[in-house]
Structure 1
């Protein structure tokens, strides 16, 4: 079997001053519709991860982000695509949140109450748990 090409994806982990983080649902018509994830999207040719993230969050959520802080990367092999998720923490943004793709949003903390959670999101919740010394499940199955 040949290796599938990796699609680069920029993912925003928006962290509010109280430590909660933003999750959004995948809109109808997309693979894994209804699953909860951190928002973001594909890196286009010629874009940096940070530029792609700023563009995607503006297109999806209607906000303008400040600095994107590269945090973790993770390769996920989904049935429909092989993706490298480039997670960046974002602590400041401007504008009102608008769900421009018909998705839902939720500010969350551990353990995450929304479900189902996209498989690529679960490791991020575990990284948060490690950083924050959280004991117990990070999401409820």
Structure 2
């Protein structure tokens, strides 16, 4: 269905092998929350994320892209600002720059769909000696039209 419906399908490039590694420890001194981690590992592996990506590539060769996972959940999908303080909780995202409020998973999915991830954008500088606060805007900049759709940076 994905291959027939969409020309391009993007997947977040997750290291599933590292995500499902065992909790460190020995028999004498086991790691913490071993049973919970084992249950999480089973749930991740049961979803078949790697197989879904592989089968989609077989059905739509050249129509599958991997988006680097770093910063997809910390980047604002409205303005592109990356700040770890924007992620208020596991479920809430509130951009510290533009004030955009969204579900954190929806924000990350929008970034993956736009191909936004990996290397963060450079911080805005205020010349020598620091950075501009995120809320300040230049007064000499011309008015910009409102964004329509997913911004591409």
TM-score range for the pair, normalised by the shorter chain length: under 0.3
Q: Which structure has more RCO (C-alpha within 8 Å, separation ≥ 6)?
A: 1
Larger radius of gyration: 2
Identify, as 1 or 2, the structure richer in strand: 1
